[in-house]
Amino acid sequence: MTSTISLHDSPAAGFDAPFEMLEACHQRVERMLTLIERMAVHLDAHGADEQARQAARDVMRYFDTAAPHHHEDEERHVLPRLRAHGHAALADRLQGDHHTMTAAWSAVRAVLLAIAEGQWPRGGTPSTMAQWRDFVEMYRLHIELEEQEAYRAALPHFDTAALSAMGTEMSRRRGG
């Protein structure tokens, strides 16, 4: 599986522009979701070779670390603004999605861990592939909802000081 997806190039966004940072994270999530889809095809043809093992490690590293930070960013900063300004149902749905995606990630991760260790039966299992498709679809729908509705509804309720505080808090939690 020759990867044309760069795992290290990141969209340029910093903590001084926290909503742009959230959207840049979505772009990285999309790259990982595409890698999962490509890995499924590759595994079917080549099994858990070194390329598949490395791809599994890359996906795990991202969803184990960056995704939980991203969800926490939204739960600390975006969802409270939505709730405070008449969008409680949207905030509740997004928070529920975060819990569902975290649970789904646990199951996907277990399979990726086996792949990272070189274990994959030729042809895989239909249930694993369905699980991966569901995970990818769930994440993509969630991202669309955040970018098309949640961020647009929340952003007008942040002034410059609130955006600065949000960015500072996000950086601090990541050790910045």
pLDDT tens-digit series, residues 19-73: 999 999 999 999 999 999 999 999 988 999 999 999 999 999 999 999 999 999 9
Query: Given 3-state DSSP classes, what are the helix, strand and coil percentages for the chain, each rounded to the nearest 5?
Result: 80, 0, 20
Binned at pLDDT 50, 70 and 90, residue 9 comes out as very low
pLDDT at 145: 98
Is it the case that residue 7 has pLDDT exceeding 80? no
pTM: 0.89
126-135: long-range pairs with CB below 8 Å, 24+ = 129/40, 131/104, 131/107, 132/36, 132/37, 132/40, 132/108, 134/104, 135/36, 135/101, 135/104, 135/105, 135/108
pLDDT tier at 12, thresholds 50, 70, 90: low
Give residue 75's pLDDT.
Answer: 98
Residue with tokens 């940072």: 21
pLDDT score of 5: 37
Average pLDDT for residues 141-170, to the nearest whole number? 97
Q: What is the CA radius of gyration of the chain?
A: 17
**pLDDT interval class at 125 (50, 70, 90):** confident
Give the end-to-end CA distance of the chain in Å, rounded to a whole number.
Answer: 35
Whole-number Å distance between alpha carbons of 69 and 51: 27
In the chain the domains, ranked by start, together with CATH numbers, are: 18-173 (1.20.120.520)
